[in-house]
Amino acid sequence: MNTNVYWKETKYEFLKLIRIRRYALSVLGMPLMFYCFFALGMPASQSFHLPTYLLATYGAFGVMSACLFGIGANLAHERSLGWLEMKRVSPMSPATYLVGKIAANLVFCVAVELLLLATGLLFGHVRLTAWEAIRIISVLVVGAIPFAALGVALGYLIRASSAPATLNMINLPMAFCSGLWVPMMFLPPFLQKVAQFLPSYHLSKLALDVIGLDNAPALGLHWEALLAFTLIFVGLAFWAFNRQEAATEAH
């Protein structure tokens, strides 16, 4: 396997995303804006340190949004332009194209986490050790993989014209119901039960555990849940890819 091809595809995909200012500013700025408003601008909680708590949950929201929009919307747009057909006739394998797209967006996930972490440390009086900071970034980036797989699946299934609206209908309700915007204990009991069936809920639980704000008795179950969601979304992505390939051959 020629790793140089994967590296170049990732590099140019990342450079392309940076040059799309609307994407870069929204992916980096939206989680930061919400974090500043809710973590730094709201009254302090008596039971826990709100900026530290929301650092984990808005971190989960940031990586989820980066993958869904950076991969899903981008892939749908390129599909509408016929770019996938151009890639198909080139010597490069489809795996190289998709791996490069996923890897470039995971780099954006790291950037989102670093920006949130710097804001929390400088303005939110967040106190984390270097090891805790490394761990929470690592957990959130690894936990972004199922959302990357979902982004690939959606990119093959939705139309470019409806991609932003469709992705927002998935991203925003999932974030709210998982307690990523408002701490889970403040949500209605019904939504707290629904949250357990969402991948974003399990990712936030893993992030909160790193900073000692959610001592989950069965931490392994959250990793197992994310693995299960990853397998489901990868299967959906394979089905969507084969569906696209069959449609292309039919034409």
Query: What is the rounded average pLDDT for all residues in the chain?
Result: 88
In this predicted structure, what is the pLDDT of residue 240?
A: 92
| Ordered DSSP codes for 102-146 | HHHHHHHHHHHHHHHHHHHHHHS-----HHHHHHHHHHHHHTTHH
Rounded CA-CA distance 116/56 in Å is 9
As a whole number, mean pLDDT of residues 212-226 equals 80
In this predicted structure, what is the pLDDT of residue 113?
A: 94
Tens of pLDDT, residue by residue over 148-159, are: 999 999 999 999
Spell out the domain ranges in the chain.
3-250
In this predicted structure, what is the pLDDT of residue 44?
A: 63
In this predicted structure, what is the pLDDT of residue 46?
A: 57
In this predicted structure, what is the pLDDT of residue 225?
A: 95
In this predicted structure, what is the pLDDT of residue 23?
A: 80
Other Cβ atoms within 10 Å of 112 Cβ, number: 27
Are 72 and 150 a contacting pair, CB within 8 Å?
yes
Rounded CA-CA distance 26/147 in Å is 17
Are 166 and 158 a contacting pair, CB within 8 Å?
yes
pLDDT band with cut points at 50, 70 and 90 for residue 1:
low
As a whole number, mean pLDDT of residues 127-153 equals 95
Other Cβ atoms within 10 Å of 142 Cβ, number: 16
Tens of pLDDT, residue by residue over 8-43, are: 889 988 888 888 888 888 888 889 998 988 888 766
Choose among 108, 62, 97: nearest CA to 237: 97
203 pLDDT more than 60:
yes
Q: What is the longest distance spanned by two Cα atoms in the chain? A: 62
Considering only CA atoms, give the Rg of the chain: 18
Fill in the amino acid letter for 218. Answer: A
Tens of pLDDT, residue by residue over 55-106, are: 999 999 999 999 999 999 999 988 888 877 777 777 778 788 889 999 999 9
Percent of the chain with pLDDT over 70: 92
Rounded CA-CA distance 251/244 in Å is 11
| Ordered DSSP codes for 187-235 | S-HHHHHHHTTSHHHHHHHHHHHHTTS---TTHHHHHHHHHHHHHHHHH
Rounded CA-CA distance 152/40 in Å is 34
Better-predicted residue by pLDDT, 247 or 140: 140
217 pLDDT more than 90:
no
216 pLDDT more than 60:
no
